[in-house]
């Protein structure tokens, strides 16, 4: 059964692109329910003219590198792809970002062939991974990765960054963006953790909804919009082993309660496309499952757009998952299950095999027509048939100064102060600073995956305007006051040279260690252990031994375990992957220009083998290390979900409910007074949790249902109100049905809690 979200954020859809700070936004996605529309006659007429080969070609997507030779576009191979193999879609770059001019030249060449040298003149649909900004275009604006955006608790910032990404991607000439990622970050070993909004389902639902609206709401035929792609449907983010594209085992109750809702919200938001999970759930590859791709995605969620596989996934039904005895059978399974377009992407096997399957009657023409209708319809919607070429007028939307301000605000609101003993931060001006650590002079570590290159690790590809923490610190206090031997090679041993630290510690007033992870994307970012690398642990311990105040900056895409060095640090700041304005934002936080307001979008584990989530079951609250001793403390992270300190203090008043007893048709009004009891202005995230005290399926300890962020001057108080409905009290029962049961519930905000009854 599809969730019915209450229509309580209509005003949010009208938020200006530059509503960047202090925006108070409700936290439940809404939209008009997607409804079937009459067939587009333009598409219907075109389908009548298409041969089997024409149609299968439209379902075929290949990568650009397949069309390159000696780093130059191979025109003959391009013509073979488009004219002979009828290829309908191309993606990616050939390893390095392109300038706007290079993109325009490339896409013009491609569209010239498609629209002038083929009989049907169907334009090419070009797709790209603009994951946290326009990834593969020189000089584009990059924003914090989603895990940092989850820390902002600010939907308006997510929407604003998506609108900029849409504008800059469209200025490049590209109209299809493979974003947003809507998995739930509940497996911290996983290398794509940084691309998720957090471990709470509502974060992905609300923030993903806003990203899609940002990409698409101007209208797909407009120069400020791109087609979004909700991904990776479904259950991709929790591989049991922690390794990318490996099996997940998810009970149906969890699948529907935790992992499906963001895709419900994305469908309601109007996402044009969906990318399918490369992995498998309970032994069933998602890209080969009619149950997941047709029964649930189409039947239950009502999604009508284009479904594309991920990289090389269809052939892997044969070569890796081994549910197909031959490559041909793999194509048959995937297409019949509901995949519309195959990201093949390095050969024409899909085209050849699918033509055979159609001619042999093993894939019905009705399934082909259904898929091709969706593909061609999207091309019409994007205005490609009217003008297939890069739109010159879109160039004016690229690289505006205002975009940097959005990126800066996003970084500022994401950065999370985890520890601050004796008010070590903000730092005072004056004196020398000893700066060390592998992330101190690394652009890649601040950006992470999909940053001008796939891995985000090629320091030469970043714009000259991109600075490191070292450069930002030198800009702030003067190069003469920064003692550092850090290089831009994350693996350089000099970055963790303890001898250098000891030789120079006496000269410094404070030691800043920028530690964490190098940049990585997908499988190359796989790890076997959550613990931070030993060389960085040893560097921190050596710094503590000097007696100087030590500030740790964590540049990382996932929570690396640092329990061995937490106690010795005077202050700890989680930067996540703050991107293009991250270094400047870090300085503004460290020196108190801006009050930190980020809060953890995940539970930060204390031990590598003890990952318990915020919405744990009550039995996970129990520790029984001594038989028959039922102590608490089962949820024992280093820092709890939602933790984040400020340079001021906030208090929460008692929770006010409009009633103490409700029926399932009632709205539940929740109000809490939030006060700034400190001596400076600040922003505070307000999370509302719901607990079902007793249920027929073991209830979670609590679940995040609503959130917002407000600004308060010193001494100021504001009332924050939320509205809950029966849907917020629902769960998936043992029959995999959404249900609401009468009984006692509680709501909690901050350190306050209030109970009510549902009749």
Neighbouring CB atoms inside 10 A of 516's CB total 28
Q: Is 218 a catalytic residue?
A: no
Note the maximum CA span of the chain: 80
CA atoms within 13 A on the CB side of 539: 27
Of 576, 538, 542, the closest CA to residue 556 belongs to 576
Helix (H, G, I), strand (E, B) or coil at 274: strand
Contact 130, 179 (CB under 8 A): yes
Q: Which residue has the tokens 């219907």?
A: 44
Burial of 746 (0-12, 13-18, 19+ CB in 10 A): middle
Q: How many CB atoms lie within 10 A of CB 634?
A: 17
Separation of alpha carbons 398 and 392, rounded Å = 11
Say which of 310, 340, 615, 692 is annotated catalytic.
310
Residue with tokens 């333009």: 42
Cα gap 423→217, rounded to integer Å: 44
Integer Cα distance of 367 and 370 in angstroms: 5
The Cα–Cα gap between 617 and 387 comes to 54
Q: How far apart are the first and last CA of the chain?
A: 22
Which residue in 379, 384, 385 sits closest to 59, CA to CA? 379
Tokens 């350089």 belong to residue: 492
Q: Based on the number of CB atoms within 10 Å of its own CB, is 201 exposed (0-12), middle (13-18) or buried (19 or more)?
A: buried
Phi, psi dihedral angles at 499 (to 5 degrees)? -60, -40
State the CB neighbour count (10 A cutoff) for residue 697: 15
Nearest CA to 175 out of 324, 388, 24, 450 is that of: 388
Q: Is 498 helix (H, G, I), strand (E, B) or coil?
A: helix
Neighbours of 96 (CB within 10 A): 14
Question: Starting at the edge strand that comes first in sequence, how are the strands of the sheet with 273-276 ordered?
Answer: 229-233, 273-276, 306-308
Rounded-to-integer distance, Cα 163 and Cα 224, Å = 7
Q: Which of the residues are catalytic?
A: 310
């Amino acid at each position: 059964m599809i969730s019915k979200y209450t229509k309580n954020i209509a005003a949010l859809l009208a938020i200006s692109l530059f509503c960047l700070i202090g925006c108070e936004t409700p936290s439940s996605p809404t939209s008009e329910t997607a409804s079937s529309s009459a067939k587009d006659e333009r598409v219907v007429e075109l389908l009548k003219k298409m041969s089997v080969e024409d149609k299968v070609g439209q379902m075929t997507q290949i990568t650009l590198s397949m069309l390159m030779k000696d780093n130059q576009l191979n025109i003959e191979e391009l013509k073979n792809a488009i004219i002979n193999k009828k290829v309908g879609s191309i993606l990616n770059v050939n390893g390095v970002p392109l300038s706007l001019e290079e993109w325009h030249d490339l896409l013009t060449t491609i569209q010239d062939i498609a629209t002038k040298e083929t009989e049907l003149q169907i334009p090419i649909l070009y797709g790209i991974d603009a994951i946290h900004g326009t990834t593969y275009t020189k000089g584009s604006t990059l924003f914090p990765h989603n895990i940092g955006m989850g820390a902002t608790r600010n939907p308006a910032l997510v929407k604003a960054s998506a609108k900029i990404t849409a504008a800059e991607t469209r200025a490049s000439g590209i109209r299809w963006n493979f974003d947003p990622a809507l998995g739930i970050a509940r497996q911290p070993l996983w290398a794509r953790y940084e691309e998720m909004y957090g471990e709470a389902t509502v974060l992905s639902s609300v923030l993903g909804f806003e990203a899609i609206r940002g990409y698409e709401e101007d209208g797909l035929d407009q120069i400020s919009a791109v087609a979004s792609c909700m991904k990776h449907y479904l259950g991709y983010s929790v591989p049991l082993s922690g390794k990318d594209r490996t099996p997940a085992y998810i009970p149906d109750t969890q699948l529907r309660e935790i992992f499906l809702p963001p895709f419900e919200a994305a469908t309601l938001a109007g996402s044009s496309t969906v990318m399918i999970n490369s992995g498998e759930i309970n032994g069933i590859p998602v890209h080969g499952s009619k149950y997941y791709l047709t029964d649930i995605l189409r039947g239950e969620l009502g999604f009508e757009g284009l479904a594309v596989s991920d990289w090389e996934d269809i052939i892997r039904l044969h070569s890796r998952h081994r549910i197909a005895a031959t490559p041909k059978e793999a194509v048959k399974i995937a297409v019949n299950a509901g995949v519309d377009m195959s990201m093949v992407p390095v050969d024409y096997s899909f085209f050849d095999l699918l033509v055979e399957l159609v001619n042999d009657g093993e894939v019905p023409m009705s399934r082909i027509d259904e898929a091709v209708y969706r593909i061609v319809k999207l091309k019409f919607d994007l205005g490609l048939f009217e003008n297939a070429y890069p739109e010159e007028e879109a160039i004016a939307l690229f690289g505006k100064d205002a975009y940097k301000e959005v990126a800066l605000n996003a970084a500022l609101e994401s950065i999370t102060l985890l520890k601050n003993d004796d008010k070590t931060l903000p730092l005072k001006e004056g004196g020398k600073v000893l700066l060390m650590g592998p992330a101190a002079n690394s652009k890649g570590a601040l950006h992470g995956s999909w940053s001008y290159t796939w891995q985000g690790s090629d320091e030469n590809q970043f714009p000259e305007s991109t600075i490191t923490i070292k450069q930002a610190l030198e800009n702030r206090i003067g190069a003469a006051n920064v003692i550092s031997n850090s290089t831009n090679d994350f693996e350089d041993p000099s970055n963790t040279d303890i001898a250098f630290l000891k030789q120079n510690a006496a000269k410094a007033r404070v030691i800043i260690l920028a530690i964490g992870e190098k940049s990585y994307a997908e499988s190359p970012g796989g790890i076997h252990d959550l613990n931070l690398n030993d060389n960085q642990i040893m560097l921190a311990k050596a710094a503590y031994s000097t007696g100087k105040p030590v500030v740790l900056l964590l540049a990382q895409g996932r929570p690396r375990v640092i329990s061995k060095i937490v106690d010795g640090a005077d202050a700890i700041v989680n930067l996540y992957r703050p991107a293009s304005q991250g270094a400047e934002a870090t300085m503004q936080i460290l020196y108190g220009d801006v009050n930190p307001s980020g809060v953890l979008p995940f539970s930060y584990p204390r031990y590598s083998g003890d990952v318990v989530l915020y919405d744990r079951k009550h039995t996970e609250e129990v520790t029984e290390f001594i038989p028959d001793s039922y102590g608490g403390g089962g949820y024992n992270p280093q820092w709890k979900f939602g933790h984040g300190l400020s340079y001021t203090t906030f208090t929460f008043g008692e929770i006010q409910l409009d009633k103490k007893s409700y029926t399932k048709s009632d709205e539940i009004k929740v109000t809490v007074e939030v006060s700034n009891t400190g001596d400076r202005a600040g922003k505070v995230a307000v999370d509302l949790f719901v607990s079902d005290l007793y249920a027929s399926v073991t209830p979670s300890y609590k679940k995040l249902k609503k959130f917002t962020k407000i600004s308060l001057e010193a001494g100021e108080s504001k009332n924050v109100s939320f509205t809950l409905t029966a849907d917020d009290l629902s769960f998936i029962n043992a029959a995999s049905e959404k249900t609401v049961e009468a009984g006692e519930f509680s709501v909690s905000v901050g350190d306050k809690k209030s109970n009510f009854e549902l009749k």
